[in-house]
Homo-oligomer: A and B are copies of this chain.
């Protein structure tokens, strides 16, 4: 569990919230809209966002709307390089292309999965990377595989008393988590009749890899083994223990 310091820095936390919101906006956004969405006081938002802008992390257009700035791109480049997930993880995943199935790498982010890479047959690499979908973790085989590496208490805390997407309640989810722990992977049915297989990467797991669209017990078993083998080959400097 991630402990706060004795004196957490509130300004930093709220600034990061704004940075996340800006990074994900398809269109430039006004401060008043940001303040409404995030439930923050307007003057404060304006000052934080202007600070982000001054430092290059936000971009401001002529009509005073804000979007992601060059600093975010620089931060992205640095992160990709340092973590090596791009270079090493994707290199490993390229060999799966021959399966002609949807292939993904994702990381757990709160109660969601961020699909850092989500390739469908016929796509180029550039089209597959930087997908921003934050998908409910409990509706994702990667999500389940990664949640299974957490203590039950942590997973419960993540969902609180609210509904758990795709599950009828905690007992239902716990069954799936226990199965994922037993099997070392998570298998989920797709709407189209195939299944998605998610395998954790790293000890402790920091990301997950998945194939989606597998059909038939034999193929599922074969692909599961293949994914697990591949997960073991992603180098350890990609580590991002959750």
Which of B6, B57, B79, B87 interacts with A72 by CB under 8 Å? B79
User: Which residues of chain A (58-113) have a CB below 8 Å from chain B?
Assistant: 59-61, 67-83, 85-87, 90-91, 94, 107-110
Contact (A26, B130) CB under 8 Å given A70-B240, A109-B70: no
Which residues from chain B contact A26 at a C-beta distance below 8 Å?
Answer: 82
Contact (A241, B59) CB under 8 Å given A77-B114, A82-B26: yes
- What's the least CB distance linking A73 to chain B, in Å? 5
Number of interface residues of A (CB under 8 A): 77
How far apart are the CA atoms of A109 and B57 in the complex, in Å? Answer: 10
> CB-nearest residue of chain B relative to A11?
B11
> CB-nearest residue of chain B relative to A28?
B239
How far apart are the CA atoms of A192 and B129 in the complex, in Å? Answer: 34
Which residues from chain B contact A56 at a C-beta distance below 8 Å?
Answer: 2, 109-110
